[in-house]
Amino acid sequence: MKKTINLLKQHNELRTIDEELDIYLEIPHIAYAEVKKEDGGKAILFTNVIDKKTGTKFEEPVLMNVFGSYKRCELLFGRTIESVADEITKLLHMKPPAGIMEKISMASELFSLKNIFPKRLKGEGECQQIKYLDDEVDLYKMPVLTTWEQDGGPFITMGQVYTQSLDGAMVNLGMYRLQVYDKNHLGMHWQIHKDSSHFFDQYQKAGKKMPVSIAIGGNPLYTWCATAPLPYGVNELLMYGLITKTPAQLVKSLTTPLYIPKDVDYVIEGWVDPSELKIEGPFGDHTGYYTLEEPYPVMEVSAITMKKERTFLATVVGKPPLEDKYMGWATGKIFFPLLKTTTPDLLDYHMPENAGFHNLILAKMQPLYKGHAKQFMHAFWGAGQMSFVKHAIFVDENAPKLENYEAFATYVLDRFTPKSMFITEGILDALDHSSPETLVGGKLGIDATAANSVEAPQLLGDAELLEKVKELIPDVVDLHQFMRRTKNPITVIAVEKSKNVREYFDALLSLSPHMRIVVFVDAKKNDVRNAYMLVWRVTNNIDAGRDIFVSGLLVGVDGTNKNALDGFTREWPDDVDCTQEVVDNLKTKGVWDFDDTLFKKFQL
């Protein structure tokens, strides 16, 4: 962490705040705003950290937004992201050498791979310079942040969670939400599809306690590796060795059989009793909504160790854009070669951060036959973490760059007809709140690889169309049309909902000549002209099996919050919002330097 801080300083990528700030809301609010600045703002080092509730003043600083820009990502990787992807591609396509020179070249490459495997050391590491065992264990000795007002408590956001299978043959490094319940208990928010949860099932069936070691800090690449979507059973620390060309050096935990990197800043060790579950949450999450209370396993902490000179690494979650925008960019680039092994005709893919990544994927492919795009949809929805993607749009090789949203949207909308849509059902991320039931819901695929003959509507201006729509639907408050130059303009309608949106859609059928795609959102908390946040809202809020309607060429999308009017029986969570009192206090202290126009744009 010291090296990281010095590296960031050298490249003018670090902002240091010496003002006394609280771990409750204040520090997270500043980091939340910083990452929304142009190019991700700067990493922030908070040097004067307190807990006002207990009067505790912490020795260590808190470092946040460390991955929060493209530049910082590559600084931390020590090389270009593309070079890592190229190396994986080369390994996947390695062929038997044809001659002596190729044999020498391959031998050299294979010899270099010896450094990717983690190395277990004897003795203790720097991470074990300070030890707290048994009754000395106290999680409140660490500056664990409480991010949002409705959060169930403080939680560790950048924890490297090390686990192993029951027989010890497989190890896993993951990143999960870790709620601090009290001085020696943590909630383990590993969802049922995560590797650690698979290991947990083994211990549960055997009736044995499961060892867990959690590391914080050290080389930031350890933290990124914890998010890497590697196949089940593959040690994520192999990626550290592949990227740095040096093996991760590990030492054994004091009270569990697990090995952790010797140079991390903190280690929390303990055991999970598979017979004990406890309510975890609610917590504001990267969806921009609060995730609901659910029972999860509990870890009883048996030891806490740390460096004498340490830095607490943390991140913040909520509405986009966030630090995970940049971490996800690196992950997408690096693991593209692995995805191509399942879908070899895939040319490129992109997951926009304002759709929360798993809510929308844009993919470019080489279509070879009729129905090829639908085949890809099934492949995506059955491939590892891609199976949690809710909405997928496929284009052919002639489409513009996927990151050029304006050109991409134009290309898709000029080819779209209702028959381009494929709606099915599948598994969803546990954080998804919009489906009628947890973990399973509707999925939407759009095949824009074929150029359909589409007739453009007879456009009206926003004001004229709003007047006509209000005559049919008195609950309408505002309206705006996007992509008017395309053959399928998108009309966003804000309503004060008093009935099921399907009834609103049916009332609009007489206006079909003037519209093609109609998206309904709640008037409260939505700006019908803010495309960035509308993508966030709508992709979060819809279940394709329930919320998409078709009549002729007219397509309706219900992006409103669901309630009893929709037959929705689950609890609908609140948005994650900044606490205005905290923002005002930070302004008074002179540490809130975030533009009010951006505050409104990103609906903080």
Q: What is the pLDDT of residues 232-261, one digit of tens each?
A: 778 999 999 999 999 999 999 999 999 999
CA distance 360 to 420: 16
Residue 97 binned pLDDT confidence (cut-offs 50, 70, 90)? low
Calculate what percentage of the chain has a pLDDT beyond 90.
78
CA distance 367 to 343: 11
Start-to-end CA span in the chain (Å): 30
Residue 321 binned pLDDT confidence (cut-offs 50, 70, 90)? very high
Mean pLDDT of 140-144: 97
Q: How far is CA 456 from the centre of its chain?
A: 37
CA distance 256 to 299: 12
Burial 562-592 (b: 16+ CB within 10 A, else e): beeebebeeeebebbbbeeebbebbeeeebb
Q: What is the pLDDT of residue 194?
A: 65
Select 462-566's CATH number: 3.30.420.40, 3.40.1670.10, 3.10.20.30, 1.25.40.10.
3.40.1670.10
Q: Which amino acid is at 95?
A: K
Contact yes or no for 447/420 (Cβ under 8 A): yes
Give this prediction's pTM: 0.92
Residue 89 binned pLDDT confidence (cut-offs 50, 70, 90)? confident
Read out DSSP for 302-346? EEEEE-SS--EEE---SSSS-HHHHHHHHHHHHHHHHHHHH-TTE
CA distance 68 to 287: 17
Q: What is the pLDDT of residues 500-547, one digit of tens each?
A: 999 999 999 999 999 999 999 999 999 999 999 999 999 999 999 999
Residue written as token pair 């809301």:
25
| Residue 347 CB-half CA count within 13 A | 16
Contact yes or no for 362/349 (Cβ under 8 A): yes
Q: What is the pLDDT of residue 104?
A: 57
Q: What is the pLDDT of residues 406-432, one digit of tens each?
A: 999 999 999 999 999 999 999 898 889
Q: What is the pLDDT of residue 108?
A: 56
Residue 93 binned pLDDT confidence (cut-offs 50, 70, 90)? low
Q: What is the pLDDT of residues 589-603, one digit of tens each?
A: 999 999 889 999 999
| Residue 407 CB-half CA count within 13 A | 7
State the Rg of the chain over Cα. Answer: 25
Q: What is the pLDDT of residues 388-410, one digit of tens each?
A: 899 999 999 999 999 999 999 99
Q: What is the pLDDT of residue 338?
A: 81
Q: What is the pLDDT of residues 17-34, one digit of tens each?
A: 999 999 999 999 999 999
Q: What stretches of 40-143 show up as alpha helix (H) in DSSP?
A: 70-77, 81-92, 100-112
Same fold, 323-448 and 462-566: yes
CA distance 291 to 550: 31
CATH second-level architecture of 323-448? 3-Layer(aba) Sandwich (3.40)
Domain boundaries, the chain: 2-78+117-314, 323-448, 462-566
Class of domain 2-78+117-314: mainly beta
